[in-house]
Structure 1
Amino acid sequence: MFSVTVRDHVMVAHSFRGEVFGPAQRLHGATFVVDATFRRPELDGDNIVVDIGLATQQLGEVLAELNYRNLDDEPAFAGVNTSTEFLARVIADRLAERVRAGSLGAGARGLTGITVTLHESHVARASYDLTL
């Protein structure tokens, strides 16, 4: 299996409901380093997994939809604990939509998976694996 990973970051504010979250129940900020890994079993006709420039651009555009937002105020997340794991899935799903729409180029149609990893800090991260 071949893979290419691109990286960006996003800054959000949010709060959580539930005692398991302790002080994070209060409004707080989070800065995530975000890795998006694109996978395929065979290289395309140009011997690449995906156009790295387009993958970087599309990740940036997906993250721009979340960046500097209070997620508690976003209608799409009403009543949802926007945990790191949840956000990894949201970003993966949005990238997959862009793959299907052709925004990562025709060669990206051969992708078989995307993994999005959000790094909360140097010691904690969460990922979501999506099969295309």
Structure 2
Amino acid sequence: MFTVTVRDHLMIAHSFRGEVFGPAQRLHGATYVVDAAFHRPELDADGVVVDIGLAARELGAVLGELNYRNLDEEPAFAGVNTTTEFLAKVIADRLAERIRAGKLGEGARGLTGLTVTLHESHVAWASYECRLQTR
């Protein structure tokens, strides 16, 4: 399996509901380093997994929809704890939609998987992995 990863970052504000979150129940900020890893079993006709420039552009576009937002005020997240794990899935799902729509080029049609990792710090991160059916 071949993998190409692109990286960006995301800054948000949010709060959580539930005693398990302790002081994070109050509004706080979070800055994540975000990795999007694209997987495929064979290289495309050009010898690549995916066009890195297009992958970086589309990851940036997905993150731009969330960047510098208070997620508590976003209707799409009403009543949801926007944990790191949850956000990894949201970003992966939105990126997968862009892949299926052809925004990463025809070569991306051979992608079989996507892993999105949000690094909260140098000691903690969470990932979401999904299969892609792009053909």
TM-score (norm: length of structure 1): 1.00
How many aligned residue pairs are there? 132
Indicate the SS of the match to 2:13.
Answer: strand
How do residues 61-100 of structure 1 correspond to structure 2 at under 5 angstroms? Answer: 61-100=61-100
Tell me the SS of whatever aligns to 2:24: helix
Pairing of 1:98-109 with structure 2 (within 5 A) = 98-109=98-109
Rounded Cα–Cα distance in structure 1 between residues aligned with 2:104 and 2:79: 32
- TM-superposed CA distance for 1:104, in Å, is 0.3
Aligned to 2:54: 54
Over aligned residue pairs, what C-alpha RMSD do you find? Answer: 0.3
User: In structure 2, what is the Cα distance between the partners aligned to 1:130 and 1:75?
Assistant: 25
Q: Secondary structure at the match of 2:86?
A: helix
Q: Where has structure 1 moved over 2 Å in runs of 4 or more? A: none
Query: Given the two structures, how large is their TM-score scaled by the length of structure 2?
Result: 0.97
1:31 deviation in Å?
0.1
| Counterpart residue number, 2:20 | 20
Q: Secondary structure of the equivalent of 2:50?
A: coil
C-alpha distance in structure 2 between counterparts of 1:96 and 1:17, whole Å: 29
Deviation at 1:47, TM superposition (A): 0.5
Determine if the alignment matches structure 1 residue 32 to structure 2 residue 21.
Answer: no
Runs of 5+ consecutive residues of structure 2 not aligned to the other structure = none
Structure 1 residues not aligned, in runs of 5+? none
Counterpart secondary structure, 2:81? coil
Q: Secondary structure at 2:66's aligned position in 1?
A: coil
Counterpart amino acid of residue 105 in structure 1: G
Per-residue Cα deviation, 1:82-111 (whole angstroms, up to 9, x for no partner):
000000000000000000000000000100
Q: Does 1:124 align with 2:124?
A: yes
